[in-house]
Amino acid sequence: MKKNMVLMVVAIIVVLGIALMAIYNVTVSPGRQEESEVKQLKPVSLKIMTTWSQWSCDDFNRYFFAESGMPRVGVILPSASMRLNITNISFVRIEDPKIWKAAGVNGSVDGFIGQNRYNITILCREGALHPIDDPEILALARDVPEFLKGYTDDGRLCWIAMFFVPYTWLVNTDYANKYGLEIPNSWTDLLKPEYVATITRGGNLVAAYPVTNRAPMMNTVNTLLSKYGWEKGWTLISVIFGSISRLEVGTRQARDSVSFGRALLTVLEFGDAYTAYSMFPDKLQILFPRNETGFWFTPIAIAARASDDGLEGMYRLIRWVLTEAQDMMFLNRTGWSFYIPVLGYNNTNPRIIYRDPAIANLYAPPVNMELMLGEAAPAIALYGDTIIADQDVRELLKMVVNRIVEKYINGEIGLEEYYKYLDMVGQPVE
């Protein structure tokens, strides 16, 4: 009996061995063939200037050189670096765009990853970036929203975003129900009498926080100034963030204020908003203000004087970033899990559902306006903080706006006069 059992176990092991060998020949052997084909690509090493953190640089390399080839269902595949024959990526972490410009012009690096839209646009206009002429990349770029790519003066692609992060609304639906409010669609909706009137009942529509060193608020202020003009923009900022809001120290406090029913909404990075939503999905919503959704992104570009090998290597890397990384890395990898891919055709993460509504409502100033806002940033931050964070100014604004909406509620002024008076609030003195 025992002998038969031993023979049966041996037979099973032999059968499993034959089956595994067959699977290996069907799956892994082609990988070896692919690896040999990759060897035909000339090996290249890349030097990339970036604004990324050290962790981001290290983790990108960790995935690109190793974990992109980790076993999947027992199948070992070559890593992205092996398939592209990129032997090394050396990141140079520098923030100063002037140094970026010099590096692009003198060819001391092969490419760039990072900078904001203002800085990367300047670098493109001043000739620090090499036009991207690769046909495969250009074909992929056609499906990337215009806000997420940039062009030279003669219309050639010079940078493209790898991913983006929208500044979303976090909205408390219970708070809306408490005050009998519909969920607003845009910042301008909040100027309607039914919303402003909540301050006469002790309510706060927005959890606001200062502008300086707080990207979501700075971006929102710039969005309103760009889209609605200097005077109307400051009216919106003064009424929404100065008079019908509660003041918080920063984004975390604003998130908690909305989460626990102390305000209707706030503006946050997507990741912060999603974290709160995941805790209270029954009463919180993530919304994108209609055609007013700000964002930040990480662009990738090629240095103007990159060597031939550097140019070829950057083309390989950009092609990979716009294909495999879109589906496998962004949204799916720890540390990158709230970065929304610009393409992501086959990304299976549940958060990918936010990509299309975010893109449909993205807003960025026209390039020339972006440059003007960048130059005026210190003055905008100073004036914005005065309106939003100075307690004396807030009390004065609240008193004035409260009086205007009371006059409307009491029938002393009509709707046209109501908006006319609001338009006078917060306009900067010439």
Residue whose pair of structure tokens reads 């035909």 in the numeric block: 40
- To the nearest 10°, the Cα dihedral for 252, 256, 262, 266? 50
H/E segment holding residue 171:
strand 157-172
Percent of the chain with pLDDT over 70: 89
Largest CA distance in the chain: 102
Domain 38-164+298-360 classified CATH 3.40.190.10? yes
Q: Check residues 218 and 426 and name the one with the higher pLDDT.
A: 218
Given this model, what pLDDT does residue 419 score? Answer: 96
pLDDT digit string, tens, across residues 45-87: 999 999 999 999 999 999 999 999 876 666 778 999 999 999 9
Given this model, what pLDDT does residue 10 score? Answer: 39
Instruction: Quickly count: other Cβ atoms within 10 Å of residue 219's Cβ.
Output: 22
Domain boundaries, the chain: 1-37, 38-164+298-360, 166-294+364-423
Instruction: Answer positive or negative: Cα dihedral of 413, 415, 418, 423.
Output: negative
Closest CA to 121 of 408, 369, 405, 380: 369
Evaluate whether 169 touches 190 at the Cβ level (below 8 Å).
no
Same CATH topology for 38-164+298-360 and 166-294+364-423?
Answer: yes
Q: How far apart are CA 401 and CA 216, in angstroms?
A: 25
User: Mean pLDDT, to the nearest integer, of 361-372?
Assistant: 87
Given this model, what pLDDT does residue 279 score? Answer: 97
Evaluate whether 199 touches 405 at the Cβ level (below 8 Å).
yes
User: Mean pLDDT, to the nearest integer, of 20-31?
Assistant: 37
Q: Which fold has domain 166-294+364-423?
A: D-Maltodextrin-Binding Protein; domain 2 (3.40.190)
pLDDT digit string, tens, across residues 398-420: 999 999 999 999 999 999 999 99
Phi-psi region of 86 (alpha: psi -120 to 50; beta: other; left: phi over 0): beta
Q: How far apart are CA 365 and CA 178, in angstroms?
A: 36
DSSP state of 127: T
Is 430 a residue whose pLDDT tops 60?
no
User: Mean pLDDT, to the nearest integer, of 123-142?
Assistant: 98
pLDDT digit string, tens, across residues 195-208: 999 999 999 999 99
Given this model, what pLDDT does residue 427 score? Answer: 67
Q: How far apart are CA 10 and CA 19, in angstroms?
A: 14
Is 340 a residue whose pLDDT tops 90?
yes
HSE-up of residue 161 (Cα within 13 Å, Cβ side): 24
Closest CA to 173 of 256, 275, 265, 241: 265
Rounded to two decimals, the pTM is 0.87
- At 91, give phi and psi (nearest 5°): -95, 135
